[in-house]
Amino acid sequence: MEKDLKIAIIGAGVSGLIAAQVLENNGFEPIIYEKTDRVGGRVKTDLMDGYQLDHGFQVLLDAYPMANKYLDYKDLELQKFLPGAAIYAKGKKVVIGDPLRKLSLLFPTLTSGIGSLSDKYHILKLNTELKKKSIEAIFKDTEITTMAYLKNRGFSDEIISSFFNPFFTGIFLEEELRTSSRMFQFVYKMFGMGNATLPKAGIGAIPQQLAQNLKRTKIIFNTTLESCEDGKLLFKDGSTKRIDYTIIATESSALVKNMRNQKVQWKSCQTLYFTVPKNKDSRPLIGLVPKKDSFINNIFFHNTLSTKNSGPDELLSVTVVKDHNFTESELITQVKTELQTACDIKNANYLKTYNIPKALPDLTNIAASISPTETRLTDTLFLAGDYLVNGSLNAAMLSGENAALGLLEVAKGKSL
């Protein structure tokens, strides 16, 4: 019987959980094998001393089409960031934002001294164009670097170095803005159409919700796959499992023989968490440090959002993208010094560092989507993961859905 097929999903990250949901919706009961002790993959939240610590500073753009399709935003209690940023430069803090979306940002933006009148005109023009431009059209554009795209649009070196570079360095996790202009346009459009948000219980609430929606999927934790081939899984402990179809919802190069030379390149970052005395500014704005030699890229005061933090002090996250050879203690010292000199943040009490070597796939020739048939690797193996598309939460969901749809096409075709 078609519905009795044994289907395995490798990895309980967002892609794997979406694939399982699609298979369940079509009457199947897949098994997910996850090497860690919980769902989420790169999207997780820890609790420490009453504080919510996400594995890296992450946000959900609520305009993502796939997130709208698969997530219950009300249940997640999404908390919205203001559409702007606080810029720490030359010994002071200035705020810029989109006054068309938040009127209170009009005066701070006009008086910030960041960017010229020409820059503000170009921002307005870019906003208007990208709101009208479809996602499909964006990903059909000729690819150039984001830096070249911004310069071609007429933005000044000042607005690029003060805002665009630090802001998108924190998103793309590379300092030169060599990331595809397609990805810049897509992300900028998503910011313009909706909000940057965080679930009240942290970013890890997203995979938790997806897992709770599964009714007939079995998730086996703390189980590491060694390799897979058509019809067979080999696990680290030496055991094997006969299987009809497999979706590899994690990096596949180490698991499949003919892909050993196709390793994904990754971009890394570090996120350090501190507690600090109460922050005077209660506005939920990402803070940017545009100084070229600064190790801090961005900061965020998490208590400016309504979260489930119960610790007595303010929770502060600091993201470092710059390559360095510091030890952990040396980096903590450096970051504390910069917090004080650049951001006037004193008495930062260190909590934890997350070293994230595989934070984002480093991709070229990125796409809007991947078709179900393109996810098929062999007769019975299918691939899922944001690295197949464009390196975003939206892409992770989309690839998981299409891997499951690709599997269903093959399975139903063989059952006829």
Q: Can you give the pLDDT at residue 1?
A: 43
Residue 63 has, within 13 A of its CA and on its CB side, a CA count of 13
Using left for φ > 0, alpha for ψ between -120 and 50, and beta otherwise, residue 346 falls in beta
Look at the alpha carbons of 401, 404, 409, 412 in this order and tell me if their dihedral is positive or negative: negative
| DSSP 8-state secondary structure symbol assigned to residue 118 | H
Rounded to whole angstroms, how far apart are CA atoms 365 and 41? 24
Encoded tokens for 224: 């590491």
- Are 246 and 7 within 8 A, CB to CB? yes
Rounded to whole angstroms, how far apart are CA atoms 371 and 412? 17
Q: Can you give the pLDDT at residue 335?
A: 98
Rounded to whole angstroms, how far apart are CA atoms 9 and 188? 33
* Domain residue ranges in the chain: 2-43+204-262+364-415, 51-199+266-361
Encoded tokens for 58: 């992450």
Encoded tokens for 65: 């089409």
Written as tens digits, the pLDDT of the chain (416 aa) is 466 899 999 999 999 999 999 999 999 999 999 999 999 999 999 999 999 999 999 999 999 999 999 999 999 999 999 999 999 998 889 888 876 677 676 656 766 778 888 998 999 899 999 999 999 999 999 999 999 999 999 999 999 999 999 999 999 999 999 999 999 999 999 999 999 999 999 999 999 999 999 999 999 999 999 999 999 999 999 999 999 999 999 988 889 887 756 788 999 999 999 999 888 889 999 999 999 999 999 999 999 999 887 788 999 999 999 999 999 999 999 999 999 999 999 999 999 999 999 999 998 889 999 999 999 999 999 999 999 999 999 999 999 999 999 999 999 876 54
**Residue 145: exposure state from Cβ atoms within 10 A (0-12, 13-18, ≥19):** middle
Name every residue whose Cβ is closer than 8 Å to that of residue 264 and which is 6 or more positions away in sequence: 251, 253, 361, 362, 387
Q: Can you give the pLDDT at residue 90?
A: 82
Rounded to whole angstroms, how far apart are CA atoms 288 and 86? 6
Q: Can you give the pLDDT at residue 108?
A: 65
Fold (CATH) for 51-199+266-361: Polyamine Oxidase; Chain A, domain 2 (3.90.660)
Rounded to whole angstroms, how far apart are CA atoms 247 and 255? 12
Buried (b) or exposed (e) across 29-48, using 16+ Cβ within 10 A? bbbbbbeeeebbbbbbbeee
Q: Return the biggest CA–CA distance within the chain.
A: 71
Give me the residues paired with residue 83 across strands: none
Write the class of the CATH domain 2-43+204-262+364-415.
alpha beta
